Amino acid sequence: MHAKKAPREDHELRESMTSAFLQCIEQGCERRYPLDAREHLCSACGALLDVRYDFSGIDPKPLSTLWQQRKMSGAITDQSGVWRFRELLPFVPAGTDVISLSEGRTPLIEVNRTGEWAGVQLSIKHQGNNPTGSFKDLGMTACITQAAILGSRVTACASTGNTSASMAAYAARAGMKAVVFVPFGKISTAKLAQALEFGAVVIEMGDNFDQAFHMLRELTDELGLYLVNSLNPFRLEGQKTIVCEILEQRDWRVPDYLVLPGGNLGNVSSVGKGLQELRQLGVIDKLPRLVVVQAEGASPFFTMISSGADEIVPVQPRTEASAIRIGNPVNWKKALRAIRLTDGLCESVSDEQIFEAKAALAKDGVGCEPASAASVAGIQKLVRSGKVEDGADVVAVLTGHQLKDPEIAIKRRSERELAQQRLHVEPDIDKLRAALESVMLQSA
């Protein structure tokens, strides 16, 4: 049977939209820009920009029912876990075709063994179940749609791998050229393969993300490239809808803590914005405490917060969790705003702790890439230090799929584990029997 071709209007947002604009986040400046401004930073003071809305025309009461009802519809705009919540994204003019791969719609799963290991009541929101295997797809549908609205032809990003895979897919779908800058030899083969397969040009340069990002930013305006890094506020608009999914999956019961790994700090910023808007609209009346967890060797935000400093001090990043190997996070001011808004916390964890958390999740049958496990490792550390209460109700975001970094899963297994788990047996029935008998002893 052939699938019925979706009518064109399935991709189209037809509702009329409220007014939207860009605004500088710096108190005292707060300069406004039109939505089609090319700037991603305030031209007056250099600070980051937000997409802001006038929500006054929205009746918040039926929102959760409307969002629920859309699940029954086959339209791509309703199937998407981003555009289903489009009342929160009214930057898209009515009649616009959105560039979507049916992103979002990811599971929220209780992980009891991992919860016991960490000392809390734990659920995980698995963003690895997205079209390209990471949370980046939520942001990419929003910002590639905006790139299409602006008539952009070439999109660009610097990346530790996931943004590049996601951008390449969404740019392909939109018929745009994609150029990605990645640190040379420092991203996983799986992520590189994704970007190449979707037709992106991959420029490998320098030793880390920060260098590649810096070089790219020098040229984006000059060459008219559309930058999709999380500096782009439209990316964060898509990513913020994860809070709607999580809370809807919990019947709008707000958890005590919502935990995320932090690299360039776009995701925690977007989640903070989503929570703030849901509260402003009256959909929720309290906020979870946001927790952002960095890898110890790439933790300038943690250092800033724990030392009480006012500014971030960039570091040379070092961690095996390559997705969050970032030493100069561009969104730190927005992240600080999110932590302050929610009375949140920041923690850092060693690579060892990250891989212990990954092993704990594996016992629940849940895989993820190393960076994602930082969130769970951070929770255990915060419970042990008494900063998070024993038994608290916690949702941890797992940001990327297990198969994003398969090499490390093997490299990180100890010789003892490999001796027990990876057996090379000659095709001889007696040797095979002996091997299987030893396996059966293991499970006894």
User: For binding to ligand F0G (CB under 6 A), which residues are involved?
Assistant: 134, 136, 159-163, 230, 261-267, 323-324, 369, 371-372, 399-400
* Smallest distance, ligand F0G to C-beta of residue 34, A: 26
In whole angstroms, the minimum distance from the beta carbon of 269 to ligand F0G comes to 7
CA-to-CA distance for 18 and 367, rounded, in angstroms?
A: 40
Task: Pinpoint the alpha helices (H) of 48-94.
Answer: 63-70, 76-79
387 vs 261: CA distance, rounded Å: 17
Of 122 and 354, CB closest to ligand F0G: 354
Among 135, 114, 117, CA closest to 126: 135
The residue (of 13 and 259) whose beta carbon lies closer to ligand F0G is: 259
Nearer to ligand F0G, 265 or 312 (CB): 265
CA count, 13 A, side-chain hemisphere, 415: 0
Neighbours of 15 (CB within 10 A): 12
For ligand F0G, the closer of residues 86 and 235 by Cβ is 235
Tell me how far, at minimum, the Cβ of 198 lies from ligand F0G, in Å: 14
Closest contact distance (angstroms) between CB of 270 and ligand F0G is: 8
How far apart (Å, rounded) are the C-alpha atoms in residues 33 and 46? 13
Q: Which C-beta is closer to ligand F0G: that of 89 or that of 180?
A: 180
Exposure letters 422-431 (e unless 16+ CB within 10 A, then b): eeeeeeeeee
Torsion, Cα 34 36 37 38, to 10 degrees, reads 170
Q: How far is the CB of 167 from ligand F0G (least distance, A)?
A: 9
Indicate the residue among 283 and 398 with the shorter CB distance to ligand F0G: 398
Q: What gap in Å lies between CA 151 and CA 128, rounded to an integer?
A: 30
Query: Sign of the CA dihedral 302, 303, 307, 310?
Result: negative
Identity of the residue, 244 or 397, whose beta carbon is nearer to ligand F0G in the bound complex? 397
Of 255 and 262, which has the nearer Cβ to ligand F0G?
262
Kindly give the residue spans of alpha helices, DSSP state H, lying in 342-428.
351-363, 370-384, 406-411, 415-421
Count Cβ atoms below 10 Å from residue 45 Cβ, excluding itself: 13
Instruction: Report the nearest approach of ligand F0G to the CB of residue 155 (Å).
Output: 14
Tell which residue, 148, 155, 145, 142, has the closest CA to residue 238.
142
Phi and psi, residue 330, nearest 5°? -70, -25
| Contact by Cβ (8 Å): 141, 112 | no
Shortest distance, CB of residue 242 to ligand F0G, whole angstroms?
11
CB of 84 to ligand F0G, least distance (A): 22
